[in-house]
Amino acid sequence: MADEILATAPVLRFAPSPNGALHLGHAYSALMNDRIAVETNGRVLLRVEDLDRTRCKPQFEAAIVDDLAWLGLRFPAPRRQSEHGDDYAAALARLDRRGLVYPCFCSRSEIARVSNGQRDPDGAPLYAGTCRALSPAEARDRMARGDKAAFRLNMRLAVDAGPACLCWTEYGEGAVPSQPLAAPEVWGDVVLRGRDLAASYHLAVVVDDALQGVTDVVRGRDLLAATGVHRLLQALLGLPAPRYRHHRLVLDQSGAKLSKSRQSWSLAELRGIDLSPGEVRAALGFGAGAGGGLAVEFS
């Protein structure tokens, strides 16, 4: 497949995880996708990133659709990651046949203990590659006796197998593109399939974007570093390279990024205090008028 996408009608996607309620950060991203689609005569798809079945619930997905409709955003029927495990398994098998994947039996506590304080861009302990040295026979024996394994990308071999100059087309929130150099190696040997998940975020998002024909990825700056891994996987799998637009993040009153784990105000709660969709859109910069007293700060 071509390394760069050429399309007359851009395809974008909004891809929430149904593990909690949407907040203003999600609303900003969804509205930014919608704005760019309107400006470029494109369309936005909805993807439900629900691989973690212990945290992702149908009621959260229903609430997401309801919140988006309240904002004036409606989508075709979504692609649910939980229904496409075979797609991710096929991609993983292609990488495995090239000798770029290995099983990892380390627990989180073991990884943290030998990381020497090193962290990946998400702040998690950086994996030291402990299981990389296991022989295929030893790995097979451990799996045969029931030891659970995650599957990791051998980053050194993967970078060597990829293009000499790996970059992507980045617009941010502007109209002038740049070509940042990808640095996937800062993540170490990333997980491609977890012990109990069909795929990690990195593998699933790359496969989904290709299968859905996504030409423009619009998402927050907190995922900027992850794009290096995604570009490497796209190159290794021969998948198209979307254009990327990493936007600002909405902050809370303390200056921290909004998140479900911090129990940031949800859209449902804002609806409960009688804020209108127009007021929320205006506060986020997507409409004329006042935001109804809703103050929003950005990173």
DSSP state of 180: P
Of 226, 294, 289, 232, give the one whose Cα is nearest residue 98: 232
Q: Which of 57, 148, 257, 260 is catalytic?
A: 260
Of 117, 139, 136, 137, give the one whose Cα is nearest residue 128: 117
**243 to each of 20, 47, 94, 187, 207, how far by Cα in Å?**
29, 18, 24, 22, 15
Q: Is 57 a catalytic residue?
A: no
Contacts of 238 (CB under 8 A, 6+ apart): 1
Q: What are the catalytic residues?
A: 260
